[in-house]
Amino acid sequence: MSTLYSLVSHEIIGPLKSLEVAAVRLVRMLKDNELRMQAQIILICSKQVLLHANDLLDKKLLQNGQFRPAYTSGSVSQSLLEILKIATLTIQNRDIKV
C-alpha cells in the first residue's frame, strides 16, 4: 500500500499542489479581471481534484485498516468564505440568485 500511496502522491498530488500554488500566485498578480477569474477557476478545479484524490486515498487506507488521520488546525470562517467564493464563481453568469 505504501508503494501505491507514494506513486499517487508523486504523480498526482504533487503536480496538483504545484498547480494550486501557481494559480494562487496568478490570482494575486493578474490585473485583468477576466484573466484573474480564469486563474480562480484553475485554483478551484485543482483544489477539488486534490480533495477527491485525497478522499480516494483515505478510502483505500480505511478499507485496509491502515488509515492514520493527520489533523490540521484552521479557521472555520476561512473555510466558509472559500466555500462561498467557490459557489459564487460557480453560479456567476447564470440565472441563479443566492
Q: Kindly report, residue by residue over 1-40, the tens digit of the pLDDT.
A: 566 666 666 677 788 888 889 989 999 999 998 888 888 8
Per-residue cell: 24: 494562487
Which secondary-structure segment (H or E) carries 79?
helix 76-91
- Name the least confident of 32-41, 43-52, 61-70: 61-70
Residue of 62, 60, 57, 22 whose CA lies nearest to 39: 22
Closest C-alpha among 45, 15, 40 to residue 28? 40
For the question of whether the overall pTM of this predicted structure is more than 0.85, the answer is no
Q: Give the mean model confidence (pLDDT) for residues 89-94.
A: 69
Looking at residue 72, what is its pLDDT?
A: 67
Judged on CB neighbours under 10 Å (0-12, 13-18, 19+), 39 is: buried
Q: What is the mean pLDDT of residues 36-47?
A: 87
- Look at residue 87 and tell me whether its pLDDT is greater than 60: yes
5, 64 contact by CB (below 8 A): no
- Give the whole-angstrom CA distance, residue 96 versus residue 50: 27
